[in-house]
Amino acid sequence: MKKYLSLIFKDLIIMKNNLPFTALIIVGVPLLFLTMNPMGTGLAAFSMTYILALYMTLQSLAYYESKYRKAENILNAAPYSRRGIVLSRYIFSVLVYVVCLVFYVILSLAIPRLERLGAAEAAVAFFIGSLMTGVLQPLTYRFGIEKTRYINMAVMIGVGVGFPYFVKAVAGGKISLALLGGLSPVTTICLALVLSLVILAASAAVSVSVYKKKEF
Amino acid sequence: MQNAIEVANLKKSYGGFCLNDISFTVPDNCITGFIGANGAGKSTTIKSILRLIRADGGSVRFWGMEFEGHEREIKDRIGVVIDDGSFYDHLTMAQMKNIIAPAYSAWDEGAFKANMEIFSLNPRQKISTLSKGMRAKYALALALSHNADLLIMDEPTSGLDPVVRREFMNIILDFMKKDGKSVLFSTHIVSDLERVADMLLLIHEGSIVFEQEKDALLDEHRVVKGKRTEMTEECRKLFLSLSETDYGFEGITKNAAQIKRFCPSAVVERATLEDIMLAYVGGKRE
């Protein structure tokens, strides 16, 4: 456990220069949604915040690791396991979600106009982020940030920008989610969390397999 | 006496290069110099040993233990210096230390601070602003701060001036004063090892050419200089490397006494490690 915490702390240290910008996203995006579209906060605002913060985090870490590629020599020569190095990144991505959620809840309590997030909505947002992490992380480990830069950006834009419009379309009745509409909040939460964990676990397994074979 | 490292039949192939069944040992309480020209396979061997690259075959044991099942335990006892340090340059030395230190169970913060002071390094300084010499010293400070039993260093003094290189060697000698310590030091600057090495390994084109005690190696080999007129075909065969001009010859040999019988007026001198290395890897008869 201590080694995982050390590795998460490592990621924080590496991306320290980007932390202020990430903090700005976490606080600023919900407020931006509020000013641009007072009726479109809640799930849309939070999911956008989380996606952007997650993208910023994962991309900046991949950028620094690519820029200082030789640093992986000393990291892997130290008593850190390759499995631990990869898994800690996934844990870190979950921590990003937790931080985004905490700040959104605080903001929504402080600003009444900011729509509060329900538990089911929070779970769905986690699912979206897990999907993004689950797809992008193995690709980044396998091909590196340079080759996956445009894929990463496309996925982030597609999910981050498309999803709020999707939510708006559902709310406006343009898209029907009759099947999902029949699910209780508890079922939605359980389904979202289980699917998220399955996606993250499968993705982590692939990433570990790729990283274990990497040569420095 | 247990060996710190035992390498057996190590193989690794890249596009145009391969390690050919490398086997050698790094004894305990020894400084083993790993010498060879650029591209000979030193870094490939060291990275294979450290599992930074995957060998195609062979085995590596540390203190009798294989990596499988003992990886963390082994790495905990090894201090590594690769090139001039492999760091996140945008961090300060203190921040980089905070990334590495938690990995080691025996990390000694007091030793780290002491080493940084001895090397005149400011932990708050950014790594990107360090000179090559300072980076090398910082890498060594990290490697020496977790009570390592084995130092593995890949070309740590490359590009450093003689003053810094001398300082580096003195630090390694200090490290060796404690019992149970070992060093594997790869370099193409052979003169660095002349003062400190106990054992020498020479690698050339992916194969080990010799593995021998340094003093024995220096005792065996001689530089012989003499008149061209005394040279014979039989005498030529006794040289590892030989250079002839119209007037004289100069060569490296393990058979100085025999050559003296052919060339009585020849002068015999002690060979340096560099002479010996060049004789084996660039040996020529002209």
- Write the ipTM: 0.84
B28 closest CA partner among B149, B147, B146: B149
pLDDT the model gives residue B231: 86
> What are the structure tokens assigned to B68, written together?
């499988």
Mean pLDDT of A193-216: 94
Q: Residue A108: pLDDT above 70? A: yes
* Bridging pattern class, strands B267-270 and B222-227: antiparallel
Residue B71 has pLDDT above 60, yes or no: yes
For residue B286, what pLDDT is reported?
Answer: 43
Instruction: Please judge whether A77 and B78 are an interchain contact, meaning their C-beta atoms are less than 8 angstroms apart.
Output: yes
The first and second tokens of residue A132, run together, are 């993004």
Contact A3 B102 (CB under 8 A): yes
* Cβ neighbours of residue B122 closer than 8 Å, sequence gap 6 or more: B93, B116
Of the candidates B104, B82, B106, B221, the one whose C-alpha atom is nearest the C-alpha of residue B158 is B82
Which amino acid is present at B65? M
Looking up tokens 């130290």, which residue turns up?
A: A78
Residue of B14, B86, B104 to mutate for A, most A C-beta atoms under 10 A: B86
Considering only the beta carbons, identify the residue of B71, B82, B91 that sits closest to A74: B82
Q: A-chain residues within 8 Å CB-CB of B98?
A: 9, 13
Phi-psi region of B8 (alpha: psi -120 to 50; beta: other; left: phi over 0): beta
Average pLDDT over residues A87-101: 95
Interfacial residues of A (vs B; Cβ cutoff 8 Å): 2-3, 5-6, 9-10, 13-14, 16-17, 64, 68, 70-81, 213, 215-216
Put the strands of the sheet holding B207-213 in their side by side order.
B78-82, B150-154, B182-187, B31-35, B199-204, B207-213
A-B Cβ pairs (cutoff 8 Å, strict)? 82
Cβ–Cβ under 8 Å, residues B183 and B151: yes
- Cβ–Cβ under 8 Å, residues B49 and A216: no
pTM of the prediction?
0.88
Residue A85: predicted pLDDT: 94
A16 with B95: Cβ contact below 8 A: yes
Chain B residues lying within 8 Å of A209, measured CB to CB: none
A212 contacts on B by Cβ (under 8 Å): none
Question: Which tops the pLDDT comparison, A91 or A114?
Answer: A91
Proportion of chain A above pLDDT 70, given as a percent: 87
